[in-house]
Structure 1
């Protein structure tokens, strides 16, 4: 499984290293997934989620305008989104990126520019992007968009302009279910320490700092990082190293519930496709992999921690088959998304809206600056 931030050329980078050094291919990680059945009293609201449709489907009777429908049904849509975490609009008259953005602007007019990037995307219209530019054969792991930042989008939406010949679904996972499946000791540890994110922007390996921060100016990067509590170090060969401490949980701006919201698993080096993580570490060293995570006190996640996290995510993940013209709307704090590998042409667009900072102040991890 490949994370959303993994570079298109990472596998070729490792293959070239093997060719030069003569190292054989590494074995796949053999950790056994262990799933916790412990349901915590603090997250009892998840108990009824199993009976709720996920995603909730709204199907047009005819080729109705989605823009008009959302404008007329906004309170109901907002209620359904908080209750279910995901809504699938099907059969509406949506064919272009501008139709997509106009419809979602009825629900949340503050559509965002993609900043502090971790995935390659191409803009196709104002603030509308390709969902990802990663190659078709790569699978993208589950995540909530930009949960490593201090001002993430509360909403994220996807528009299937053209479904793939095979595969290419957008799996989704319920963060309430994920949280309810975590053991109390692990949950408490994340509450106490938060998550430390370490990123290394190396030319030719993953996203470089110019792409991530959308600038050529180092001073602009420094100002951005300072304003968001990100420590940075410029190194030789145009490499940038950053570290940021974040809470593993956030409060939902509507319900007030504490939700599981982080990139702890997604950015962890072992979330690369099987065999690639060890090969990459061998090639550049653990300290130089593009992304990695640990507890906020610097303690590494154990194999059991990672297995429990993966088991909880897998148990909460569901899939549906895209149809051309579908619009998937996610509460980004209640749901995660990913991407299956595919064949043929696939056109799925995305937009992000509703900055959290406009609604509430983010929770900070202990000792976070």
Structure 2
């Protein structure tokens, strides 16, 4: 067992550990293309920036893990030591990047770290009802995404429609760096700036009507992408019980596929600051998230629903110009964060959006993710 997972007393205390605020994060070595980028939803539409913005002075806010002893403390102790830093800075800045933690590419160590965090934050659940693909690699730890690496996952709030609650914090660890110049950067977007810059007529219409989210799952027997048995429950009865608890409606089709739908607000009050912020997946849950963008759906049979879709809460389709505007505002406030082995990016799910730039098929890249509800 690695030393940082052992529970015996190493003589190190929380007081021996600290997190020193570091300098502004350097931008990626290669500019991160947005406008016209292949496999990026909406990249052919007008208004998108040519490149992602570089990291800003305090977005993300960078900290270096430090210790005053030669002994290697268990990773759980680092989690205890980190809590005051998160309490002070995460909601204020929206995203915090921690360097120097001893987790590297070990998801088991990350799991131990998160267990200690959950003891502090009283987390109850983990990612339920995801529309995209990912794999469990340790308890409460998953791969960030198993989707085609070339595909860019647009900035979004973690907002699983079929989940009972919305996460408050996301923890992402870099397990393997992509090759130089091959892409794969983390992306984060400033929710406060997005809310301020959203066209008032768009904001007010969604405030009034809410958004209708639809999720389509085929059965496992015929699925080529995702299925309801592995994302909701193994039987129809269990799936219906879960969806009832989650507040969803649904329709079973003759081929045993299911269409789930639910109306949800487009804004939410930040649980700590009380700010009312743009908080949804209206653009990143729309069918255009896959249509003409995702490599696996380039030849999609249009008679079959895409995995996700959004409409206005009254059932009307969202206008193309509205989707374009939302994406324009989101990308205008998005920065690219280079991946470095062992880096821990922590995102306030209300104050910031997160995503992944596409990367080359021949490049390694691995990230692990976990979440907290408090």
TM-score range normalised by the length of the shorter chain: 0.7 to 0.9
Contact 1:280-1:289 at 8 Å conserved across structures: no
Q: Per the alignment, do residues 29 and 274 of structure 1 end up closer, same or farther by CA in structure 2, a change over 3 Å counting?
A: farther
- How many Å apart are 1:73 and its aligned residue? 4.6
- CA distance in 2 between counterparts of 1:276 and 1:55 reads 28
User: TM-score when scaled to structure 1?
Assistant: 0.77
SS at match of 2:250: strand
Structure 1 residue corresponding to 2:60, chosen from 55, 61, 72: 55
Structure 1 unmatched ranges of 5 or more: 1-10, 12-27, 36-49, 356-369
Counterpart of 1:31 (choices 23, 29, 45) is 45
Structure 2: tracts of 5 or more residues without a match: 1-38, 50-54
- CA distance in 1 between counterparts of 2:192 and 2:344 reads 22
Equivalent positions of 1:295-310 (< 5 A) are 295-310=312-327
2:335 is the alignment partner of 1:318: yes
Q: Choose from 213, 219, 226 the match for 1:207.
A: 226
CA apart distance, 1:346 = 1.6
CA distance in 2, matches of 1:284, 1:51: 41
Residues 141 and 275 (structure 1 numbering): CA distance in 2 closer, same or farther, change over 3 Å? closer
- Could you tell me which of 169, 194, 213 is aligned with 1:197? 213
C-alpha displacement of 1:243: 1.2
Partner secondary structure for residue 157 of structure 1: strand
Distance in 2, matches of 1:234 and 1:187, equals 33
Judging changes above 3 Å, is the alpha-carbon distance between structure 1 residues 274 and 61 closer, same or farther for their aligned structure 2 residues? same
Equivalent residues of 2:128, 2:231 under 8 A apart: yes
Is 1:333 equivalent to 2:350 in the alignment? yes
Pairs aligned (count): 312
Confirm or deny that 1:138 pairs with 2:147. Answer: no
Corresponding residue number in structure 2 for 1:249 = 267
1:174 matches 2:190: yes
Q: State whether residues 144 and 337 of structure 1, in contact with CA within 8 Å, keep that contact through their aligned partners in structure 2.
A: yes
- Are residue 235 (structure 1) and residue 253 (structure 2) matched? yes
2:10 corresponds to which residue?
Answer: none
1:71 aligns with 2:84: no
Structure with higher helix content: 1
Q: Secondary structure at the match of 1:53?
A: coil
| Structure 1 match to 2:7 | none
Shift of 1:248: 1.0
TM-score (norm 2): 0.76
Please show how residues 101-140 of structure 1 align to structure 2 within 5 Å.
101-109=111-119, 110-111=122-123, 112-140=125-153
Aligned partners of 2:223, 2:160: CA distance in 1, in Å? 25
> 1:171 offset after TM fit, Å?
0.8
RMSD, aligned CA: 2.7
Distance 2:300 2:178 in 1: 35
CA distance 1:108–1:235, change in 2 (3 Å): same
CA distance in 2: counterparts of 1:204 and 1:231, whole angstroms: 22
Shift of 1:105: 3.9
The CA distance in 2 between the partners of 1:336 and 1:195, in whole Å, is 18
